[in-house]
Structure 1
Amino acid sequence: MASDQHFIDFIIDQINSSGRVTYKKMFGEYGLYFDIKLFALVCDNKLFIKPTSAGRTFIGNVVEAPPYPGAKPSFLIEDKLEDADWLNELIRLTVEELPEPKPKPKKKSK
């Protein structure tokens, strides 16, 4: 089941206080970006945050699940979706710890 636009709009409203969060539709689901860093996925109307040690410490009792079959487990966030301050702090900690994205190779010209 694909995520719906209402759910992604709700998540973006909760976490976009800085104005630096964007999303991209990917195969009916969504990738969430802070500037250019992919930090979360929204799949089946559920929020999955990339795992980091700072995020694990902040959350405490972590629930991990793969966002889609075959994916590595991520932090599944369900009971704190209404708490914008908590979500923003988790995202700040996560983004700080995530590495910068690798540059994409340039296409060879013909």
Structure 2
Amino acid sequence: MSSTLEYIEFICNQIDEEWHPSYRKMFGDYFVYIRNKPIILVCDDVAYVKKLPCIASLMKDAESDIPFQGANEWYILDIEDRALVDEVVSALEKVSTVPLKRKRKKTP
């Protein structure tokens, strides 16, 4: 089961516009980007954020789960708690980087 577009748009609406939220479909699910940085992974209509030290205190009471087979545990973000979402987005945006575009190898 993959995430619905309605849920992805709901997540983006929960994030303050100053963060310039956007989303991209990846592998059947979505990543929500903040200022072009991948911050929130959405799988099966569940919002996940990576377990990083900068948000450990904010997410100490949050549940954790594995978003897809082969992944490590990620925190489950309560997307309806707008204050928490803003704090988590702020902390993660500071430590995340914009992904580099990979050059495709030319085939002979």
Instruction: Answer yes or no: same fold by TM over 0.5.
Output: yes
| Secondary structure of the structure 1 residue equivalent to 2:79 | coil
What 5-or-longer segments of structure 2 have no aligned partner? none
Q: Which residue of 2 aligns with 1:95?
A: 93
**Aligned equivalent of 2:32:** 32
**Would you say the 8 A contact 2:37–2:99 is kept in 1?**
no
The normalised TM-score by structure 2 is: 0.83
Contact 1:15–1:21 under 8 Å retained in 2: yes
* Paired residues of 1:52 and 1:97 also in contact (CA < 8 A): no
Once the two structures are aligned, what percentage of the paired residues are identical?
27
Coordinate RMSD, CA, aligned? 2.0
Query: Unaligned 5+ residue runs, structure 1?
Result: none
Contact persistence 2:37–2:93 (CA under 8 A): yes
Match of 1:64 in 2: 64
**Residue in 2 aligned with 1:106?**
103
Offset of residue 15 of structure 1: 1.0
Aligned counterparts of 1:28 and 1:51: Cα–Cα separation in 2: 22
Q: CA deviation at 1:108?
A: 5.4
**TM-score (ref. length: structure 1):** 0.82
User: What SS does the aligned partner of 1:60 have?
Assistant: coil
Moved over 6 A (4+): none
Q: Which amino acid aligns with 2:89?
A: I
**Per-residue CA distance 1:43-74 (angstroms, 9 max, x = gap):** 00000012211211112223221111111211
Secondary structure at the counterpart of residue 104 of structure 1: coil
